[in-house]
Structure 1
Amino acid sequence: MTAAPGTDTATAVDPGRFRTALSHHPGGVVVVTADVAGEPVGLTATSFTSISLSPPLVGFYVAETSSTWPKLRRSGEFAVHLLGEDQSDLAARFATKGVDRFAAPTSWRPGPEDVPLLDGTAVHLVCRRYDTRLVGDHWLVVGEVTHCLELDDPRPPLLYHRGAFGSFTALS
């Protein structure tokens, strides 16, 4: 697809304006964790999506500038934790730089493939890395789901919208 005549797409959209436009689209909030040489690592992501049912694939994006990504990318397995509406503190903790994200009050245990599983999250998806690609200024990380755990949680999801956490209310 080509740009409209006279439009240079590389310079036509101001990055700040683009970020503001995208903030109008809510995203589900997840925490991604992995074990790297016996050390738990993790980060918060709001760019999580399902990709394929067969094989079962999910993906998330992480900024190229993330301080956690160099550690996380060394692991072949990771867990995606879908958060409930009451877990904004957990999401904020895993988005904060320079703190021990796994220290109290974070409660976790080793799961399949030794990936850290955060206690109390709505769903755990344990994944094997399927593909990783640099796309613009973010890495796309695709995982093949090997385990689906904790599927009976009735809480609404935690959402991120216009720079704030919130929740979902179904229309009757």
Structure 2
Amino acid sequence: MTETLSERAVDNEGFRRALAVHAAGVVVVTAQTGGVPVGLTATSFSSVSLNPPLVSFYVDQSSTTWPWLRQAESFAVNVLASDQADLASRFARKGVDRFAEPTRWGPGPGGVPLLSGVSAHLVCAPHTTVEIGDHILVVGLVTGTGIDTAGRPLLYHQGRFGRFTPHS
């Protein structure tokens, strides 16, 4: 009898433990739909292509933010700075007004919410979405950028937010 691919897959807990040792950058993806700002924290952000300029992130199919984000004409990827762990946690929580105080933000091109104090932001137009497993791959065409601070990035590692300290 031949094994199916799903039978060959490692169990969820083993998979999580293995991925926990990989440090990832942290972003908050923001958009505005019907005058309502929405956002979520993502650690799956990646550059995809230089020409055309494309970036991607994944969102859980069960996300309550995804239906709103999916309708947006543009979105921003806010690259968090090392001192913004509280902001990352806030945008990862359910049942809170993520844009209320102490969150600082303002409208960017097309009204897309841009968070204050981030290392950089990339304004994007939706390009492609693909359902993959229990997530949705979202690819955006970068239509604008801004670098707010030259600080160090916020990282996610072993279930915690932390800072990068370079070797001398």
Q: TM-score, normalised by structure 2?
A: 0.95
For 2:161, the equivalent position in structure 1 comes to: 165
In structure 1, what residue type is equivalent to 2:150?
P
| Deviation by residue 1:33-90 (Cα, 9 ceiling, x = unmatched) | 0000100000000000000111110000011111111111111210000001100000
Across the aligned residues of Structure 1 and Structure 2, the Cα RMSD in angstroms comes to 1.3
Does the aligned pair in 1 maintain the 2:78–2:118 contact within 8 Å?
yes
**Within-5 A mapping of 1:6-155:** 8-12=4-8, 13-149=10-146, 151=147, 153-155=149-151
Q: CA deviation at 1:171?
A: 2.0
Q: TM-score, normalised by structure 1?
A: 0.93
Q: Percent identity between the aligned chains?
A: 57
- Structure 1 portions without partners, runs of 5+: none
Does the aligned pair in 1 maintain the 2:117–2:148 contact within 8 Å?
no
Rounded Cα–Cα distance in structure 2 between residues aligned with 1:64 and 1:16: 20
SS in 1 for 2:71: coil
Q: What is the number of residues matched between the two proteins? A: 167
- Structure 2 portions without partners, runs of 5+: none
